[in-house]
């Protein structure tokens, strides 16, 4: 992985503001391994830029739990093939070409562990779409098209030990036992993290924050 630059969140917000000014609409992708703090950073950037920005997470394209069970993939939820990658790419195409009406994106509810359709409105006035997720820089089809639709892509790096502690705590918070949470974080999550870390070279910027955001 390329050497990470250590930057404060405020500088990244300024970079995002400058990108938004390039208009008429820009797409910023934030990639990183599970537990790196992508969603928190993306939320802070969107809040910092203001009404001209909207957050559209990749996680809204999780396959439903019933479909994962049918496909035999429920035990590795979060892997690249447990998402509707074609649906995500199609949405990014629509957002990239700036349609004259609102585009609606799905969201992922962690309390339900399910995606919710039509939860995020992106009106034509939005100049910056921030999307975050593990697989934005993946080279395999159909994920490989995502990078070409992003005007900028950043990779968020974080100390592996801290990242694992965050993931374990997150799984406990959503109902797993301590042992189950640790096993999932060290197993499925770490296998996914190895895949994601190998894509960092496709980013415009690899960054570590001066103060790591909460997981």
Two tokens, residue 150? 């992003």
Does residue 40 form part of some domain?
yes
3-state secondary structure 128-188: EEEEEECCCCCCCCCCHHHHHHCCEEEEECCCHHHHHHHHHHHHHHCCCCHHHHHHHHHHH
Nearest to 107 by CA among 134, 131, 80: 131
- Residue-wise pLDDT tens digits, 103-144: 999 999 988 889 999 999 999 999 999 999 999 999 999 999
Cβ-proximal residues to 202 (8 Å cutoff; 6+ apart), any chain: 137, 139, 147, 153
Q: For 88-136, what is the HEC assignment?
A: HHHHHHHHHHCCCCCEEEEEEECCCCEEEEEEEEECCCCCEEEEEECCC
Residue 215 lies in a domain: no
Contact 133, 58 (CB under 8 A): yes
Non-local (6+) Cβ contacts of 199 within 8 A are 31, 135, 136, 137, 138, 139, 155
pLDDT of amino acid 215: 52
* pLDDT tier for residue 177 given thresholds of 50, 70 and 90: confident
pLDDT per residue over 7-56, tens digit each? Answer: 999 999 999 999 999 989 999 999 998 888 999 999 999 999 999 999 99
171 within domain boundaries: yes
- The 10s digit of each residue's pLDDT in 46-91 is 999 999 999 999 999 999 999 999 999 998 888 999 999 999 999 9
Nearest to 87 by CA among 68, 67, 106, 108: 106
State the Cα–Cα distance between residues 156 and 164, nearest whole angstrom: 15
What CATH number is given to the structural domain containing 61?
Answer: 3.40.50.300
Q: What three-state secondary structure class fits 214?
A: coil
Domain that holds residue 47: 5-209
Burial class (CB in 10 A: 0-12, 13-18, 19+), 75: exposed
How confident is the model over 144-165, as a mean pLDDT?
90
**Residue 55: inside a domain, yes or no?**
yes
Has residue 68 been placed in a domain? Answer: yes
Q: Which residue has the higher pLDDT, 168 or 48?
A: 48
108 neighbors 116 (Cβ within 8 angstroms) = yes
The answer to whether residue 69 sits within a structural domain is yes
> In total, how many domains does the chain have?
1
Please classify residue 52 by burial: count the beta carbons closer than 10 Å to its beta carbon, then call 0-12 exposed, 13-18 middle and 19+ buried: middle
Bridge partner list, 121 = 104
Does residue 60 contact residue 120 with C-beta atoms inside 8 Å?
yes
């Amino acid at each position: 992985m390329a050497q990470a630059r250590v930057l404060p969140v405020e500088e990244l917000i300024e970079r995002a503001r400058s990108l938004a000014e390039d208009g008429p609409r820009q797409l910023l992708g934030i990639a990183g391994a599970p537990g790196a703090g992508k969603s928190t950073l993306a939320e802070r950037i969107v809040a910092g830029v203001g009404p001209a920005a909207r957050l559209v997470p990749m996680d809204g394209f999780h396959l439903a739990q019933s479909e994962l069970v049918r496909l035999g993939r429920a035990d590795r939820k979060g892997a690249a093939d447990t998402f509707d990658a074609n649906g995500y790419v199609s949405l990014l195409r629509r957002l990239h070409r700036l349609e004259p009406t609102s585009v609606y994106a799905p969201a992922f509810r962690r309390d339900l562990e399910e995606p919710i359709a039509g939860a995020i409105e992106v009106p034509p006035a939005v100049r910056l779409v921030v999307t975050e997720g593990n697989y934005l820089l993946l080279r395999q089809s159909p994920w490989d098209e995502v990078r070409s639709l992003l005007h900028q892509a950043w990779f968020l790096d974080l100390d592996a030990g801290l990242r694992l502690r965050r993931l374990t705590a997150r799984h406990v918070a959503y109902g797993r036992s301590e042992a189950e949470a640790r096993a999932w974080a060290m197993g499925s999550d770490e296998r996914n993290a190895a895949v994601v870390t190998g894509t960092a070279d496709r980013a415009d910027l690899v960054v570590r924050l001066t103060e790591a955001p909460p997981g």
